Amino acid sequence: WDRPTGITLLAQASFLLWVHSIYSIFKYYGTTNIPRVSSYVDLVSDMLGKTGKIRLRAARKISVVCGVAAQAIIFLWFFGVPWLRLFSSGAFIAFLGLAHFYLMEVDYKGSPKVRPFGMIPFLLAPALAAAAIAQVVAQ
């Protein structure tokens, strides 16, 4: 990987994710999109909920966790944390990002509520899986 280009891309990605996160926190924190942190203790009971609306609360919480995890890995990756070499292909980070996007955009019936063009990122999933497998095989 070309270090200067890679650092530039990581910096840009990190900046855009921070802007996205700050906006989302101010706009949606405490709503059904970004539940209060204190409600995360109910994650398992939400996952096992009897109605789709209760399970949707779990999906939103898992979405936030995936997004925070992806952003944290990118942030730490930028600073060269050595154990993050496991994620050097970026496939795992992209998977977390896709999971965040999907789980944030599904309705209580489990179907995504995006326009057809919004489904394009999911075409990346097979390529991400192949990259992740290639990364593991190469090590």
Supply the pLDDT for residue 19: 94
- Separation of alpha carbons 87 and 90, rounded Å: 5
Encode pLDDT of 31-45 as tens digits.
Answer: 888 889 999 999 999
User: Smallest Cα–Cα separation from 30: which of 60, 67, 75, 65?
Assistant: 60
| Whether the Cβ atoms of residue 108 and residue 55 lie closer than 8 Å to each other | yes
- Report the DSSP beta bridge partners of residue 22: none
Question: Three-class SS of residue 30?
Answer: coil
Judged on CB neighbours under 10 Å (0-12, 13-18, 19+), 45 is: exposed
For residue 84, pLDDT beyond 50:
yes
- What global pTM score does this model have? 0.80
Lowest model confidence (mean pLDDT) among 23-27, 65-69, 116-120, 135-139: 135-139
> What residue type is assigned to position 13 of the chain?
A
Encode pLDDT of 1-34 as tens digits.
Answer: 455 666 677 788 888 989 999 999 999 998 888 8
Supply the pLDDT for residue 88: 60
Encode pLDDT of 95-131 as tens digits.
Answer: 888 899 889 888 888 788 877 787 888 887 788 778 7
Supply the pLDDT for residue 66: 94
What are the structure tokens assigned to 33, written together?
């999109």
What are the structure tokens assigned to 92, written together?
């795992």
Supply the pLDDT for residue 21: 92
